């Protein structure tokens, strides 16, 4: 809740947030054993960042591609996106992801 608040207050820029999260997300798989609910926690964080327009679906699609490129577990991008959808709600998430439909489909598959 703190990061979206800092963004709203103008203390953090989109590039600050995106740059800080990108490397973390690329290696999110390495945290699953220490924090089994990591995808849930990160989904909640990313949902808050969507709400304040700090990230968008194109950015998330790029991070999912980076997870795959880094050799992450094959289902990690899907877990990440599903967690965001859980916190955003399906209708809100569908609208947010509509602009990146082809990018997300390329990463996650068509279903």
What is the pTM assigned to this prediction?
Answer: 0.85
- SS3 readout for 35-47: CCCHHHHHHHHHH
Q: Please tell me the predicted confidence (pLDDT) of residue 34.
A: 94
pLDDT score recorded for residue 101: 73
Distances (CA, A) of 43 to 19, 81, 108: 17, 7, 16
Q: Helices 101-108 and 90-98 meet at what angle, rounded to 10?
A: 110
Check if the beta carbon of residue 83 is closer than 8 Å to that of residue 36: no
Contact assessment for residue 51 and residue 89, using Cβ atoms and an 8 Å cutoff: no
d(C-alpha 12, C-alpha 76), whole Å: 27
The pLDDT assigned to 111 comes to 59
Per-residue pLDDT tens over the stretch 60-108: 989 998 998 888 888 898 899 889 888 888 787 777 777 777 667 767 7
Which pLDDT tens digit goes with each residue over 34-57?
999 999 999 999 999 988 999 998
């Amino acid at each position: 809740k703190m990061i979206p608040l800092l963004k709203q207050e103008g203390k953090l820029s989109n590039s600050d947030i995106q740059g800080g999260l990108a490397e973390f997300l690329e290696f999110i798989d390495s945290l699953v054993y220490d924090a089994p609910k990591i995808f849930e926690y990160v989904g909640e964080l990313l949902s808050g960042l969507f709400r304040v327009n700090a990230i968008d679906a194109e950015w998330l699609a790029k991070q999912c591609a980076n997870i795959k490129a880094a050799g992450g577990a094959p289902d990690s991008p899907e877990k990440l996106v599903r967690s965001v959808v859980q916190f955003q709600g399906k209708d809100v998430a569908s609208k947010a992801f509509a602009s990146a439909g082809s990018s997300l489909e390329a990463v996650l598959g068509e279903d």
